[in-house]
Amino acid sequence: MEARVKLLENVCFVGETGSGHAVVMDGAPEGGGRNLGPRPMEMLLVGAGGCTSYDVVSILRNSKQDVTGCEVKVTAERANTDPKVFTKIHLHFILTGRKLLPNRVEHAIRLSAEKYCSATIMLAKTAEVTHSHEVVELEDG
């Protein structure tokens, strides 16, 4: 796996992934940026949310659960001094589907957290990572 990050201007960068995708990252105006894209640390949270969402949905579908939606709200706290690493990360899953079994949902989240999600497992080396969830029953009709 590889990526490349190039300076565009001031503190604005474009990141290019080995799979051929690009994302602009920028700083806040008070830090010299123009606010043209997410901050790099925000990208870490988005990556962690995407990684664990992928796992949870795959695990649920493999266990024959009718999951139709998955949203993860990620909140984090950072250290006050440099390096301002994440110290706490909370992932709140909102899963939508038909007759999702609570034990299967909890199992999928736990498997992602403990075995499969490289991003959150790596971040857990410096941050306390916690999880919660809710299930929204999809109405027939």
Per domain, the residue ranges of the chain are 1-38, 40-137
Kindly report, residue by residue over 124-141, the tens digit of the pLDDT: 999 999 999 999 998 875
In 33-62, which positions are buried (b, 16+ CB within 10 angstroms) versus exposed (e)?
A: beeebebeeeebbeebbebbbebbbebbee
Mean pLDDT of 71-80: 98
In CATH, what number does 1-38 get? 2.20.25
- So what's the pLDDT on residue 141? 59
Instruction: Say if residue 53's pLDDT is above 90.
Output: yes
Q: Is the dihedral of CA 2, 111, 42, 21 positive or negative?
A: positive
Kindly report, residue by residue over 102-118, the tens digit of the pLDDT: 999 999 999 999 999 99
Residue holding tokens 């990572």? 129
133 and 105 Cβ atoms separated by less than 8 Å: yes
- So what's the pLDDT on residue 124? 97
The CATH fold of domain 40-137: GMP Synthetase; Chain A, domain 3 (3.30.300)
Residue holding tokens 């709140």? 92
Mean pLDDT of 79-99: 97
On the question of a common fold for 1-38 and 40-137, the answer reads no
